[in-house]
Amino acid sequence: MRVEVEINGKVRDVTVERDRVRPARVRISWDGTTRDVDARIVERDRDGMLLSLVDVGTAASSRRVRCVAAGRNGLTELHLGDVVVEAVINGRRLAADSPGEAAAGASRLTAPMPGKVVRVLVAPGDQVEARQPLVVVEAMKMENELTAPKAGVVTEVPVTEGMSVESGRLLAAIE
Amino acid sequence: MRVEVEINGKVRDVTVERDRVRPARVRISWDGTTRDVDARIVERDRDGMLLSLVDVGTAASSRRVRCVAAGRNGLTELHLGDVVVEAVINGRRLAADSPGEAAAGASRLTAPMPGKVVRVLVAPGDQVEARQPLVVVEAMKMENELTAPKAGVVTEVPVTEGMSVESGRLLAAIE
Amino acid sequence: MKVLIANRGEIAVRIMRGCREMGLPTVAIYSDCDRLAPHVRYADEAVALVANEPAGSYLHIEKILAAARRTGANAVHPGYGFLAENAGFAQAVVDAGLRFIGPPAGVIELMGGKTAARAAAGGAGVPIVPGSGGPLPDGATDADLREAGDAVGYPIFVKAVAGGGGKGMRLVREPEELPRAIQGARSEAASAFGDGDVYLERCIERGRHIEVQLLADEHGTVVPFVERECSIQRRHQKVIEETPSPVVGIETRRALAASAARLAEEVGYTNAGTIEFLLDDADNFYFLEMNTRLQVEHPITEMVTGIDLVRWQLRVTQGERLDIDPERALAPDGHAIECRVYAEDPNAGFMPCPGLIRTHRPPEGPGIRVDSGVEAGFEVPVHYDSMVAKLVAHAADRRLAIDRMQRALAEYDIGGVPTTVPMFRWLMGHEDFIAGRFDTTFLDRVLAGRNGGAFLDPPDDAEELAVMAAALSVALGRPGSEGVSAGGAEASGRWKQAARVAGLR
Amino acid sequence: MKVLIANRGEIAVRIMRGCREMGLPTVAIYSDCDRLAPHVRYADEAVALVANEPAGSYLHIEKILAAARRTGANAVHPGYGFLAENAGFAQAVVDAGLRFIGPPAGVIELMGGKTAARAAAGGAGVPIVPGSGGPLPDGATDADLREAGDAVGYPIFVKAVAGGGGKGMRLVREPEELPRAIQGARSEAASAFGDGDVYLERCIERGRHIEVQLLADEHGTVVPFVERECSIQRRHQKVIEETPSPVVGIETRRALAASAARLAEEVGYTNAGTIEFLLDDADNFYFLEMNTRLQVEHPITEMVTGIDLVRWQLRVTQGERLDIDPERALAPDGHAIECRVYAEDPNAGFMPCPGLIRTHRPPEGPGIRVDSGVEAGFEVPVHYDSMVAKLVAHAADRRLAIDRMQRALAEYDIGGVPTTVPMFRWLMGHEDFIAGRFDTTFLDRVLAGRNGGAFLDPPDDAEELAVMAAALSVALGRPGSEGVSAGGAEASGRWKQAARVAGLR
């Protein structure tokens, strides 16, 4: 079986061959690398699966990977212990969410949850850097700084201090 | 919705009505008893579900019930904390496993797991009581006394001390 | 005694565990979005509050008292947060003929007022931060002001009496700068608040937040405990607590404990409470405030002293006498550290992340205690605090407790929402944390210095492993591999990030 | 040091936790049926043994050494059971140039032989059960025999030297019965074993199984710990352990500890080990045997002393010196109880129940430690011991520890296989257990007296609740409600039971 895996912007053409006698044993090859692995699904849920991989080639490394089919960026998330790697599998990615989008065109900052605007830090016309705080929203007992998704010029700030906002409400737009 | 529930040999005709506005609120009635309950599925797995029931009528009792669709006797198991109650729902029961079977006709005692016969305590022709130990099998580091499923006369003991037995192997038969 | 727990989450479950160990029946209350929360199932009885916003649910005194009436509960435990320090609630509970598991309403009222509490502390001979005591006289000469400044000691904060939000405030390090700073503060305060009065207060630099847990019964016995160190804070919110403090010696410990006990006796305190102090780098400590309730971080004290604080709250409420050995309460056995695990994205400015907990397997094994308020299948609501669990490690000394915490953090398998676990793993490896070199500004400073990088380096074989796992998730038959749900798309917009490899957990 | 753990289940995970806290890499080995066991995922590396039966897997010395060679592990921890007390394995590990985490092979060999161990104990001045010391002379007169009997003390066991399985054994309570009993035993022994030699040994009635954990380094330091009480046994297998013993006072504790340390010094013991004693009701104790390894019940000692035994095993193996305060090791902080949770059906003669663990949510909260060897999705194999987890409760005293254990047992949510949890709940409420009135025969006696009833009474509303839940499981849309799987039918035949309401858990 061939699977196209894109990680960190690099696409690999990966071949997975199952051993006919021991189906849990697979040979995985890509870009001149070959690994023989005993691969098992420990458990499945509707979002993905927990894999246990034991290298049965030269190494003997034992790894636990939780695969989440549709992660927070609409990509497949691979949880390697505490570290998460995101992958595009067979070119599948949610178009609206391609990472390229944040870098070009208009960007909208919306409220991630219901809350109260406690500070507005910019005004239309301001030049802002990526990650610069624009609005502070109090929610879940915390003051949360919401930051610019990209560098640019603020075109709209349709909220004022003290205003209650629903989830998804536009807080600021940048061009 | 009407459901036939048999518990402890007694069949009840149970009516479940869902509130149209609040679908988690149900009225359950049987044999002159009526209960208004907020009933939720906390989680499901392929074997059943975990229910959370809060009485919203006169009482306020909060109960957690794990329902296992096909329990060890082929019946529906209802785990109420540590206590398990078995139910036959809508007459569904695995015929081969009806509890009545143990009380009548020939009974076969088989090895529940692979092991080694360490003692044979009866011989063909012996009169035995229900629950009387017949054979001792060593398995999983333990000596396990396997007992008569019912009272009767031993007709067959096709194992000897020291013999290895596979799971399901006949150890004794009683008539 | 039948106990209604007027709270939710991990603390509600913690209190119910204490009740169950004493054979006391429990009543839970729950908001709509908490219907599937573990505390509802843990209780013997549960009453819906039919609302979500705190004002209509866990802060709604009438609904809570009605729930007690309906179930016949005759005692109310407020937990922490919500109504725990609301004197009106404590009084309403007593007026309804029920027992309030906490101090008398009058004591909550007294210690809730900053100036009254400070006055009570002063009256009990507990050190408070030195200051001019009242507004500086209007016509004071520069020499008068310098004299007042010398009496307080430098560095000094000039603060507007009517102040707030940093306006009308000046930090002064050198005596010669004082008169000009006072002048500036006066005019700023006058224009901001219409009141130019200012006063002086010593600025405690590199201060550590040190607090003393205490228990008090209704027969006059007060038992103070070994201090807790709570200086690891993010925006004034504690995120890691430990006991004992790495910098408090036995003499300071006894002095802290004696001060706390004196204050508690002075105000007629009963039940569990905590007195918070600021400790400077010369081992001077100053009263900050009193929390008239159980605290989030009470488990670390339980672990090093073996004393069950919730059980004692329940016993003291029933009129029992404290029979704790006071020396035991001051002699920690080993060291305990607590990490507050929040559903927050540490890589996105610690934004709270409500959402469905898909996997929850807390760590176990030697020296680990978990007090969690969630299970897999529960959705962290948007309406309350985002803490999902407290993870506590206990070991023979601080170094071993840190190693144990690292091990437990690595074991913690929580999926569905990002949590602060990666930040804790990073912090447990930070040389200043390990050395115990920190004050209350430490965490905000080091976080600000990180510039948004991932908290954890990916393992060496991360990319290779990810390639294999991604391919296998298809080859082994991934459910839903043919269609990514729309829910994923919706959620993702909130957390858009350029970084593709990140310690999100 | 890179550590291969030559074991499986909870103890393998426990040891790996200790290694991880010290930063030591770990290697797991696994049989075919253990491929999905948690210990395989916990380790950094894992090597398949390609077999299931112990002889071909966890007992196969060559395969284990090959796994160490393949992974570059330079130390081997044997855990308990399997090869832990196999002197040949310990020697083979050392011969392969690796460190064996345990005592020297020679000491394992010495203490593994009953008579040699008994002789060593006698040599170290440790009490052994009084007896005639050797076979009684053939031509002894009745008067000679009565004199020998008086020297041993009554009640007396007459035992065949070549004996076993109770043959050639007599219990004698009165001196006048002794000669006839010896005559009977001689003839029975002669016909059973071809050897009529018999000897006398005092019968210790109402004996309690008391044991002393110890640690010993390679520099001559031996530290004995506060005793463990392990008298709650089913067919000579411990099921509940606690520390301290409810009947051992401080003087007996010191005497036990001194005896254990003397014996360990006498035989040149190193690493962790345990000396088991029988304690009679007059506080006399007698050497039983020594376990030259870590024990199942080590966590209770860790909980009351705060000392990490596995960490010390690893440190001692690296040549480090024990720097434990010996007084601390003998002064328990509170009380700890362990329940060994087995996948067994307590309502069907404690038959082991291999099978798929479908749900596994262990208890948490104050004073609870869980060391488990399973997760949901793992199938308890038929090939090994059926223990799935150890549940430990720690509290300020024994009564509180029992209450806490009850609470934790009620919280334990384990589904798919029946377990011994209901029996523990029943036992924690048994008045003799609560009073500490028991000996090694207690559990078998009270179990035999139960006549197979359910361990737990159903709650008052059980039937009503069951009716509602059964109906709701259909009405709320039960998956699979239209077809009961064949797997269910197969499995059910094994555990057929007439009882329809039963505390199976």
Of the residues B49, B64, B89, the one at which a domain ends:
B89
Domain boundary among A64, A89, A114: A89
Cβ-Cβ contacts under 8 Å for D380 (sequence gap 6 or more): D343, D353, D354, D355, D356, D357, D374, D386, D388, D417
- D376 to chain B: closest CA residue: B45
Report d(CA C340, CA C389) in Å as an integer.
6
Residue B100 has pLDDT above 80, yes or no: no
Q: What is the pLDDT of residue A44?
A: 81
Question: In the structure, what pLDDT confidence band is assigned to residue C472 with cuts at 50, 70 and 90?
Answer: very high
Domain containing B155 equals 105-174
What's the average model confidence in pLDDT over C379-397? 95
User: Do A64 and A129 share a domain, yes or no?
Assistant: no
Interchain CB distance below 8 Å, C407 and D362: no
Q: Tell me: do B113 and B85 sit in the same domain.
A: no
Tokens of A88: 């595009």
CA distance C357 to chain D (A): 15
To the nearest 5 percent, what fractions of chain A are helix, strand and coil?
A: 5, 55, 40
Checking if the pLDDT of C280 tops 70, the result is yes
CB contacts < 8 A, C to D, total: 92
Give the separation between CA A34 and CA C18, rounded to whole angstroms.
Answer: 55
Residue B96 falls in which region: left (phi positive, over 0), alpha (psi -120 to 50) or beta: alpha
Report the range of poorest mean pLDDT among B21-25, C240-244, D310-314.
B21-25
Please identify among residues 432-451 of chain C the ones whose CB lies closer than 8 Å to any CB of chain D.
Answer: none
Which residue type occupies C493?
A: G
DSSP E strand stretches across A25-125: 25-30, 33-45, 48-55, 62-68, 76-80, 83-89, 107-110, 115-120
Specify whether A83 is located in the same domain as A12. yes
Measured distance CA(D325)–CA(D250) in Å, rounded: 17
Q: Mean pLDDT over residues B42-47, rounded?
A: 79
Question: Do B15 and B56 sit in the same domain of this protein?
Answer: yes
Q: What CA–CA distance (Å, rounded) separates A37 from A60?
A: 9
**What digits encode the pLDDT tens for the residues D60-109?**
999 999 999 999 999 999 999 999 999 999 999 999 999 999 999 999 99
User: In the 8-state DSSP scheme, what is residue C147?
Assistant: H
Residue B69 has pLDDT above 80, yes or no: no
| Boundary of a domain, candidates B89, B113, B139 | B89
Query: Which residues of chain C lie closer than 8 angstroms to B56, CB-CB?
Result: 48
Q: Find chain C residues with C-beta within 8 A of A103's C-beta.
A: 498
CA of A108, closest CA in chain C: separation in Å? 10
Assign C414 to helix, strand or coil.
strand
D-chain residues near A64 (CB < 8 A): 41
Residue B164 lies in a domain: yes
| pLDDT tens profile D272-328 | 999 999 999 999 999 999 999 999 999 999 999 999 999 999 999 999 999 999 999
* pLDDT given at position D489: 30
Q: What is the pLDDT of residue D411?
A: 95
- Whole-Å CA distances, D368 to C26, C140, C379, D365: 21, 63, 26, 6
Q: Is C141 exposed, middle or buried (0-12, 13-18, 19+ CB in 10 A)?
A: exposed
Instruction: Find the angle CA(B91)-CA(B97)-CA(B103) to the nearest 5 degrees.
Output: 105
Domain of A126: which CATH number? 2.40.50.100
Q: Are D274 and D291 in contact (CB under 8 A)?
A: yes
Q: Is residue B37 part of a domain?
A: yes
**pLDDT tops 90 at residue C372:** yes
pLDDT of residue D164: 62
Same domain, A112 and A83: no
* Shortest Cα–Cα distance, B128 to chain D (Å): 16
Sheet containing A107-110, strands listed edge to edge, beginning at the edge strand earlier in sequence: A107-110, A170-174, A152-156, A127-128
Strands C26-30 and C3-5: parallel
pLDDT band at C433 (very low <50, low <70, confident <90, very high): very high
* Both tokens assigned to D439: 């000996």
Asked if residue B77 and residue B9 are part of one domain, the reply reads: yes
D331 φ, ψ (degrees, to nearest 5) = -110, 95
Same domain, B109 and B84: no
Does residue A97 lie in a domain region? no
Q: Which structure tokens are listed for C459?
A: 């393992």
Asked if B22 has any chain D CB less than 8 Å from its own CB, the reply is no
Nearest-angstrom CA–CA distance, B17 and B24: 10
Dig out the tokens for C27 from the structure: 């009543």
Amino acid at A57: G
pLDDT at position D413 is 92
* Same structural domain, B77 and B22: yes
The answer to whether residue A36 neighbours chain D at the CB level (below 8 Å) is no
Q: How far is C421 from chain A (nearest CA, A)?
A: 8
How much is the mean pLDDT over chain D?
A: 90
Beta strand segments in C334-478, E: 335-342, 344-345, 351-352, 355-356, 359-361, 368-372, 379-380, 387-395, 413-415
Please, how many CA atoms are within 13 Å of residue C495, restricted to the half-sphere of its CB?
A: 28
Does residue C244 have a cis peptide bond before it, meaning omega lies within 30 degrees of 0?
yes
Lowest mean pLDDT among B162-166, C174-178, D208-212: B162-166
Q: Name the H helices within C1-135.
A: 9-21, 38-42, 61-71, 87-95, 105-112, 114-123
Distance CA D479, CA D481 (A): 5
Question: Could you tell me if B48 lies within 8 Å of chain D, comparing CB atoms?
Answer: yes
> Do B16 and D471 count as a contact with CB atoms less than 8 A apart?
yes
Residues of D in contact with C308 (CB under 8 A): 366-367, 395-396, 400
**Best to test chain D binding among B7, B13, B113, B140 (most D CBs inside 10 Å):** B140
The predicted pLDDT at position D131 comes to 85
- Predicted interface score ipTM higher than 0.90: no
Q: So what's the pLDDT on residue D497?
A: 30
Portion of chain D with pLDDT greater than 70, in percent: 93
Decide if pLDDT at D487 tops 70.
no
Q: How confident is the model at residue D163 (pLDDT cuts 50, 70, 90)?
A: low
pLDDT tens digits, one per residue of D123-136: 999 999 888 877 88
Confidence of residue C492 (pLDDT cuts 50, 70, 90): very low
Q: Tell the residue number behind the tokens 């006071």, with chain if given.
A: C326
On whether residue A94 sits in a domain, the answer given is no
Query: CB contact, 8 Å: A65 with chain C?
Result: yes
In a domain, B96, yes or no: no
Q: What is the pLDDT of residue A100?
A: 40
Residue D422 parent element (H or E): helix D421-428
Residue B167 carries which side chain, given as an amino acid letter?
Answer: S
- The position carrying tokens 């008391």 is D210
Residue D493 reports pLDDT greater than 70: no
Q: How many CB pairs under 8 A join B and D?
A: 229
Q: How confident is the model at residue D452 (pLDDT cuts 50, 70, 90)?
A: low
What pLDDT is attached to residue D350?
85
pLDDT tens, position by position, for chain A (175 residues)?
Answer: 899 999 988 999 999 999 888 888 999 999 999 999 999 998 887 678 899 999 999 889 999 999 987 666 668 889 988 788 889 998 865 433 444 444 445 688 888 777 888 889 999 999 998 888 899 888 877 778 888 888 899 999 999 988 888 878 889 999 8
Higher-pLDDT residue of C453 and D7 is D7
Position with higher pLDDT, A110 vs C431: C431
Task: List, for residues C65-85, the tens digit of each pLDDT value.
Answer: 999 999 999 999 999 999 999
Mean pLDDT of the region C248-257: 98
Beta strands in C149-303 (DSSP E): 156-160, 170-172, 198-202, 208-216, 222-224, 228-234, 237-243, 271-279, 285-291
CA separation, residue A167 to residues A103, A171, B98, D475 (Å): 24, 10, 55, 34
Question: Is the per-residue pLDDT at C177 higher than 60?
Answer: yes
For residue A25, being part of any structural domain is answered with yes
List chain B residues with CB under 8 Å of D474: 1, 3, 89-90
Chains with 3 or more CB pairs closer than 8 angstroms to A? C, D
Same domain, A7 and A82: yes
pLDDT in tens, D172-182: 999 999 999 99
pLDDT value of residue A105: 52
Provide the 10 A C-beta neighbour count for residue A76: 29
Identify whether residues A78 and A119 lie together within a single domain.
Answer: no
Looking at residue D398, what is its pLDDT?
A: 98
pLDDT score of B97 = 40
Look at residue C487 and tell me whether its pLDDT is greater than 50. Answer: no
CB-based contacts of D173, cutoff 8 Å, min separation 6:
D154, D155
From A42, A59, A60, residue closest to D36, measured CB to CB: A42
C-alpha dist (Å) from residue D121 to A175, C239, D111, D218: 86, 54, 10, 21
Measured CA to CA, the distance from residue C436 to residue C372 in angstroms comes to 27
Q: Do B14 and B69 belong together in one domain?
A: yes
The band of C389, judged by pLDDT with boundaries at 50, 70 and 90, is very high
Residue D304 near residue D244, CB atoms below 8 Å: yes
**C372 interfacial to chain D (CB closer than 8 Å):** yes
Q: Do C71 and B60 touch (CB under 8 A)?
A: yes
Instruction: Tell me if A98 is assigned to some domain.
Output: no
Q: Are residues B128 and B83 in the same domain?
A: no
Say what the pLDDT of residue C164 is.
62
Separation in Å, CA of D262 to nearest CA in chain C: 27
The answer to the question of residue A21 being in a domain is yes
- Total domains, chain A: 2
The pLDDT value recorded for residue D366 is 98
